[in-house]
Every structure is written in structure tokens, then in C-alpha cells.
Amino acid sequence: MAANLLVEGVVIVAATAAIWKGSDWLEASSERLATHYGLPQVVQGAVVVAVGSSFPELASVVVAALGGSLALGVGAIVGSAIFNVLVIPAVAGIATDEHVESNRTLVYKEAQFYMLAVSVLLVTFALAVIYYPGDATLTGTVTRPLAFVPLALYGLYVFIQYQDTTDHRPADDPDEIAVGRQWALLVAALAVILVAVERLVHALRLFGEAFAVPEFLLGVTVLAAATSLPDTLVSVRAARADRAVASLANVLGSNTFDLLVAVPVGVLIAGPELVDFAMAVPMFAVLTGATVLLFTVLRTDLELSDREAYLLVATYVGFLAWVVAETAGVVTGVLPSA
């Protein structure tokens, strides 16, 4: 058993590295294609690059759902969202010499629409408990019709971004880009990420069974961090290139895609899945609080200072400490299955 777990530990590290590399290819090709087609910076960050950097989370939900472990995939989405709003902006701010600047479009459109996305997914889970209850208390089945509720909201989000695109006129002609080569790189990156995520999910399931750790909590912590590393790389790179708006828009756009598309797509592909509402609600409460905190620090002077960046990191460390304490039984009463 110990030898097998050691091998799976190596698999986790290797798969995470492969996800990072594949995501790097995916994000680079997505960004170049967005530049080629003359999309505005906010749309590049919030839709094109965000969808590219969110593909590991999407793959984790689909792979986990096909393996009968949707809870692991949903946990990864929620944990990744918490990681994204607390850690990524903070790292981007700490890694740059200047404060990370925001703007009113980012705060009042992207951040608030993201808050709406959190609410809609939580309402979708609540509808599953009310209309398709499971055998246990506060469990319900997310059906394919219910999956279209968050997808419809993402359709509205894309429509809003499309309106921004139609009004936008590039300041300069984009550089010459080999479009065919970039599309080929994008497809290759998708294949690498799919294989790596499948191996990562398999290894984490074995660890969960060996140590009796709920799959949802493994998703919230380990799988979420592994799939969020590419988002961190993209945002830090954008911040260092003096594209702070794109850096922050990537975080919010990536989370919006994860919540409104990744989870529903997993249900549409794998079929109806059971959700533990009692486990999900505390995590969504943390996610809501983290989002409000990010919204607050971005709105103050429309920039993220170093002090505020360290506050975000400290909040995430506190969240991890709470999850570990709940899982170990040191603290009880919040997560029912821990």
C-alpha cells in the first residue's frame, strides 16, 4: 500500500507539472489568437484567456464525473475559485513593484457578475435538493435540465462581452501571427491537459480511499491548487507586463467560467449526479466572503496594495487551516462529512 501511494504521489507531481506546461501552451496560443482578432483587453482576460486557463478545472470536473466522483470535481471548482480570488491577485501584486491597478469596468461589471455566478450555482444545488432529493439529508441530484440554469447565465455573460467587442476598435494593427500554428498548439495543449488531469484525479481518489478523506475536501484543497497554478502564472505574467486589468479580469472570468460552465458540462456529459448541499454551503459561504473581500480591496483607490495582497494570502492560509482542522477532527460542527 505504501509503495503504491508513493507511486501515486509521483504521479500527482508529474501530472501537475504537465497541467502547468499544457496550460502555458494553451494560454499563450489563446492570448495570441485574441490579439490577432483584435479583442479588447478586458475581453481577452475575462473570456479568451480565462477559458483557456480554466480548461484544467473543466477537465477535472468531466473526468471526475465520468468516474462517478463529481464531488471531487465540484470541490476542485469551489476550491479553485477560492484560490483564484485570494491567492492569484495577491501573488500578482507581490510579484510586481507597483500596485496592481483596477478600473470601474472590472469592479462593477466583472466582479459583480461573478458574485451573481456564485449565487446562481448555489441556487441550482438548492433546486436539486428540493426537487430531486437523495436518500441522505440535504442531498440532491443535479439533473441535465438543472445544468442549463447556470449555462444560460454564462450565455448572458458572453453576450455582454460580445457587446464590448463590437464597440472596440484596436489602437494598432496586431502583429503578424501564424494563426494555423497557434490553433494547432491550442489543440495539442488540450490533449496534454486532458491526460494529465485524468491521472491526477485517479491518484487523488486512491489517496482519499487510503486515508478516508472526503473527495469534496480533496478537490477543494489539492486538486484545486494543482489546477489553479496555470491561472497564477497567467495573471503574474500579465501584471508584470503592465496589463493589470487583464490579470485581474482573468481571475474573475476564469471563476465565472468554472462555476457556470465546468460543473454543468460535467453533468451534461456524465449524467445526473448527487450533490451534498450540507457540504457545499459552508464552502460557498467562504467563497462568497472571499469574493466580497476581493471586491472591497479592488474598490479602494481602484488598486491592490501590498498590504491588501498580504491580507488576501493570510485569509487563504486561514481557510486551509480550517479545512485541515475539520478533516482531522480538531474542529467539528461545520463540515458534516469531514
* CB burial string 224-237: b at 16+ within 10 A, e below: bbbbbbbbbbbbbb
Position 172 scores a pLDDT of 54
Task: Write down the domain spans for the chain.
Answer: 14-167+177-328
Q: Which residues pair with 142 in a beta bridge?
A: 273
Cα torsion 57, 336, 267, 156: sign: negative
pTM (two decimals): 0.82
Q: Which CATH number fits domain 14-167+177-328: 3.20.20.70, 3.40.630.10, 3.40.50.10420, 1.20.1420.30?
A: 1.20.1420.30
Q: Given the C-alpha cell 489546477, which residue does it identify?
A: 227
pLDDT band at 338 (very low <50, low <70, confident <90, very high): very low
Work out the percent of the chain whose per-residue pLDDT is above 70. 90
22-66 pLDDT, tens digit per residue, is 878 877 887 787 777 776 655 665 666 666 777 888 888 888 888
CB 74 within 8 A of CB 220: no
Q: Mean pLDDT, to the nearest integer, of 109-138?
A: 88
pLDDT at 175: 60
Name the 3-class secondary structure at 40.
coil
- All cell numbers assigned to 81: 475559485
CB 239 within 8 A of CB 99: no
Per this entry, what is the length of the chain?
338
Spatial CA neighbour of 258 closest among 118, 111, 68 = 118
Is the separation of the CB atoms in 82 and 245 below 8 Å? no
pLDDT number for residue 43: 63
- The predicted pLDDT at position 42 comes to 57
**35 contacts 168 by C-beta, under 8 angstroms:** no
